[in-house]
Chain A
Amino acid sequence: MNDRFNLYRFASPATFYPLAGKMIPWFVALAVLFGIAGLYIGMLVAPTDFQQGEGYRIIFIHVPTSWLSMFIYLVMAFWAAIGLAFNTRLSGMMARALAPTGALMAFLSLWTGALWGKPMWGTWWVWDARLTSELILLFLYIGYLALVAAIDDPRRADKAGGILLLVGVVNVPIIYFSVKWWNTLHQGSSVNFAKSSMAEVMLWGMLLMALSFWMYSIAVALARVRTLMLERERNTDWVRAELTRTGEMQ
């Protein structure tokens, strides 16, 4: 009973708002730290790849952004499920705060994929299974963003967006496997970005970069969710108090 109470307290915007405010600097610091370490290892220490030359260093961004774009979609779907099941206000806002960052990650993944493809495959775009799925994932993000933007009532927008996310998350594996299967059928390029024989340093660089991008996403999403909270709860006492307090500080 006590746990339940705490959970709800945590999920209430009035408690979460200051907590998020305190957490943001920590995540920013972690993102910077991991980023510096990752860049140091990836760009300065790691040796060249004997097959791909220095161009392989793009994977230090490409792979983390691809991971993050998929992971963020899953997290959004998780929040959507919580929101639809328990009707909590916070979960819809979390999903919405994450979406633009997820879309940007998908975009970066495509962008770096294209820049990697040009020297490696001799063309900017290849209908490679991974790139194609990433493109579809970007479409899914854009669809979600367009849907929630089109609905004026925020609660209705959250719920409708939540259903779309759940439908999307069921479909993502189906889409991925169908695209992969289509790709092998048409014998398109199937050069792997990350070789399994990758040197250990490279793996470390990639992991550190992924951690850095992860922390960055959390920090940005928290900052965005704080603005959403103020906006949505503007008629509550805690937002009024918050507004007058920040007024004194500035």
Chain B
Amino acid sequence: MIYWNSFADFIAMGGYGFYVWGSFGVTALVMLIEPIVVGRSRKTTIARLKRQLRAESRSKEA
């Protein structure tokens, strides 16, 4: 069922390896980085909001 004869053939992509893997690689990179960026901004937002909440409750107690 699998079309390729060897792993080397698969990597070479019939001479188009650079273009094919350049496309897939950058796409994979983008789809890896984007969730990380989103996750990190979520964490910093939550941390900042918590700080604000704490500051608020402290100023209320005072």
Contacts and interface: CB of A to CB of B under 8 A. Distances in A.
Interface of A: 43-48, 53-55, 57-58, 61-62, 65, 100-101, 104, 107-108, 111-112, 115-116, 118-119, 216, 219-220, 223-224, 226-227, 230-231, 234, 239-240, 243-244, 246-247
Given A45-B3, A243-B53, A247-B50, A108 B27 contact: yes
27 contacts: A44-B2, A44-B3, A44-B4, A45-B3, A46-B3, A53-B16, A54-B15, A55-B16, A55-B19, A57-B16, A61-B24, A101-B34, A108-B30, A111-B23, A111-B26, A115-B20, A216-B31, A220-B34, A223-B39, A224-B38, A227-B42, A230-B42, A230-B45, A231-B45, A231-B49, A243-B50, A247-B50
B27 A112 contact: yes
Interface of B: 1-4, 10, 13-16, 19-20, 22-24, 26-27, 30-31, 34-35, 38-39, 41-42, 45-46, 49-50, 52-53
B20 A54 contact: yes
Contacts of A43: 10
Contact of B27 (A61, A223, A230): A61
A112 B3 contact: no
A58 B19 contact: yes
A75 to B, nearest CB: 17
A45 B45 CA distance: 44
Query: Which residue among B15, B38, B52 has the maximum number of chain A CB atoms within 10 Å of its CB?
Result: B38
A65 B53 CA distance: 41
Contact of B23 (A101, A112, A216, A231): A112
Contacts of A62: 23
Contacts of B3: 44-48
A168 B39 CA distance: 30
Given A53-B14, A54-B20, A112-B26, 12 more contacts: A44-B2, A44-B4, A54-B14, A54-B15, A58-B19, A62-B23, A108-B27, A115-B23, A216-B31, A220-B38, A223-B35, A243-B50
B58 to A, nearest CB: 14
A231 B19 CA distance: 41
Nearest to A234: B49
A227 B38 contact: yes
